[in-house]
Chains A and B, each alone.
Chain A
C-alpha cells in the first residue's frame, strides 16, 4: 500500500518554558519527533512492505529523521509554521498528501498535545480514521488495526484510503548510528512551499494569553526521613486515606 508517514510535524510541549506569570516561551523550539512518531513509523513500515513508503514532514525539523530509519524518500513543506489551530495544521498536511498523490494510507503519531490534527486531517481528506492505535498490518488489501479500548483489545479492519493515528507503547530502541545517518543524506527530499501545494498557513484562531492553572501545591515533607514519614502518615490518616 502506498503509505505516507507524517513525522516531526509539531513542537514538543516539553521544549516550552512556562514563566512564573504563565507566559509560554518556546525558546526557538523546533518541530521534533514526538514519542509517537517512532511508533507510527514502525506501523507505516508494516503496511508498506513493498517499499512504497514516503515520509512527510513540515516546518523546522530535520527531514532526515525518517530517512535514517529506512524510509526511502521524503517530502518537506519548508515554510509551514507551528499553528494553534489543529485544523489549520491538518490542512497543510492534507494538501501535501494530495500533492504526493495516490496515497492509500496516512500514518501519523497520535500526539497528546495536538490531538485534533490526525482527525481533522482525515476529515479534510474525506477519509475514515482510527486513532489510539497500537499495531497495524495489511491483510487482504485492507488495513488491520489493533487498539486498546478500556480493558479490551479490539481488532478492526478498515478499507483504504484511511488515516491511522498510532500511540507509542514504548520508547524508541536502536537509534540509528552514523552509518544510517550518512546514508540518509543521500536519499531524496522533495522540498515544497505552501504556495506550491496550494494552501495558506493562516491560523484561524488567536491566543488571548496563557496563565498558570490553579493548583493546590503539594505538602512537601523533608528533613529526617522518620519524622517526614510520620507526618505524611498522620496527614493521610487525617484525610481518611489510610
Chain B
C-alpha cells in the first residue's frame, strides 16, 4: 500500500485533493493549516487522518512551512498533493525539500505503477497532457477541477503544535484597487483587445455591452500600454480573475496570460479575424471576422 499526504490551505479543492491522493491506492493523511472550520471540512472529505496547525493571529500560512515539512518527513509519503495557491505551494515546496522529492506542477491524477509513482499533469499552459514517472517521492500542485465531497462522518482531528514557525507577519489587509469594479461580479463581460484600432472605437464595444447589460473588460495591453480602459478592468493572470456566465473576447488573441483570468467563465465567445488565434481553442463559440463588422451585427442580432 502506498501512502499520500495532502496539504490543505483552503476549502475549495479539498475533495479533489483527497480523490487525487487516493489514486495511489493507499492511506491519505491531510495536513491542514488554517482555522478549525477548514480542518473540519478536510476531515469530512475522506482522509484517514487529519493533522491540524492553527495559525496564530496575524501570521500567514506560509510561516508554517517548516512544521508542515516536519510532518511530511514523519509521514514519509509516496506523494504529496496540494492546491496551486500561493500558500499551498510554499508549504509543499518545503515538504518536497525535506522529503528529497521531485516537484511536478499541474497534477490531475496520481497512480502507482509497480514501485513508481505516475502523475498525469497539464503542461505548457494547458496545451498538452503529460505523464511523468518518479522512482522516489513526488510532490504536485493539483490543477484539475474540484470534486464535491460526499457527506461523511469525518475522522478525528489531531491538533499539532506549530513550533519553528518563520518570522513572517501580516501588517495589514485592505481591499485591492479595483476590488469593487463591477467586472469581478458581473454575469456578462465584454472584453476588448488589441484588435481595436483606436480608443474612440470603444463606443462600438460599449454599444454591445449596453445591449447585453455587460461590464467591459480588456486584455493587458489595452489597459497597460494604451491606457484605453481602466487598469482594474484588465482580465488576466496578474489582473482580474473573473467567473461570468458569458465572456465575449473581442479582438483578443488569447495569450495564456489572459486565459488564466477567465478559467472560471462558463461560456466563452471569441470574435477574431485570425483563424489561428488561440482564443478559438479555449472558446465555446467563435465568430471569425472583422470585429468592426461583427460587433454591430451582434448587437443587432441581440435586438431581434
Contact = CB atoms under 8 A, between A and B. Distances in A.
B63 A128 contact: yes
A219 B211 CA distance: 23
A87 B95 CA distance: 11
A22 B118 contact: no
Interface in A195-242: 204-213, 215-216, 218-222, 225-226, 228-230, 232-233, 235-236, 239, 241-242
B202 to A, nearest CB: 19
A183 interface: no
Interface of A is mostly: mixed
A116 to B, nearest CB: 4
23 contacts: A13-B125, A16-B124, A16-B127, A87-B96, A87-B101, A88-B102, A90-B93, A116-B89, A128-B62, A128-B63, A128-B90, A134-B238, A147-B86, A149-B86, A151-B175, A151-B184, A168-B238, A205-B133, A208-B132, A221-B287, A225-B294, A236-B246, A242-B246
Contacts of B129: 22, 210-213
Nearest to B178: A151
Interface in B267-304: 267, 269-270, 275, 280-290, 293-294, 297-298, 300-302, 304
A113 B138 CA distance: 17
B178 to A, nearest CB: 9
A122 interface: yes
Given A129-B65, A215-B281, A218-B286, A232 B169 contact: no
Contact of B90 (A130, A144, A211, A236): A130
Interface of A: 13-14, 16, 18, 22, 24, 35, 84-88, 90, 112-124, 126, 128-132, 134, 144, 147-149, 151-159, 167-171, 204-213, 215-216, 218-222, 225-226, 228-230, 232-233, 235-236, 239, 241-242
B118 A208 contact: yes
B94 interface: yes
Contacts of A112: 125, 237, 256, 260
B269 A232 contact: yes
A86 B105 CA distance: 8
B285 A169 contact: no
Contact of B286 (A113, A207, A219, A226): A219
Contacts, number: 273
Contact of B104 (A86, A153, A225, A230): A86
Contacts of B301: 226, 229-230, 232-233
A35 B224 CA distance: 14
Contacts of B74: none
Contacts of A90: 93, 97, 103
